Amino acid sequence: MPVTIFHNPRCSKSRQTLALLEDQGIKPSIIEYLKTPITKDKLIEILSLLGLAPRDLMRKKEEVYAEKGLDNPSLSDAELIDIMVKNPILIERPIVLANGKAALGRPPEQVLNILE
């Protein structure tokens, strides 16, 4: 079963989620999404799999969130997605894909639900 993790090695939850996968005997494909940004199409797919709106997957405490006025309710989902693609630091992490499903590793154990 192929498993992919969108990972930020500087994030403790991301490191914990990766360790949890490895403890399960899984060697996921690791995408450091700050170095290899997520494409717009992939982000749209991930949002769909998670059942989330773009704003729900945004890190609201990042400086760029305030700088760009992303709390403005008039911004469309398409605009938010474009901003997230250009500023991947805004994307909550880690995200794990497996079995045609996605899970946000917050808490890390949440990813176990998509491995079955």
* Residues labelled catalytic: 11
Instruction: Please answer whether residues 40 and 82 qualify as being in contact, where contact means their C-beta atoms are separated by less than 8 angstroms.
Output: yes
Instruction: Please answer whether residues 13 and 39 qualify as being in contact, where contact means their C-beta atoms are separated by less than 8 angstroms.
Output: no
Residues 76-81: contacts with CB under 8 Å, at least 24 apart = 77/53, 80/54, 80/55, 81/40, 81/43, 81/44, 81/47, 81/54
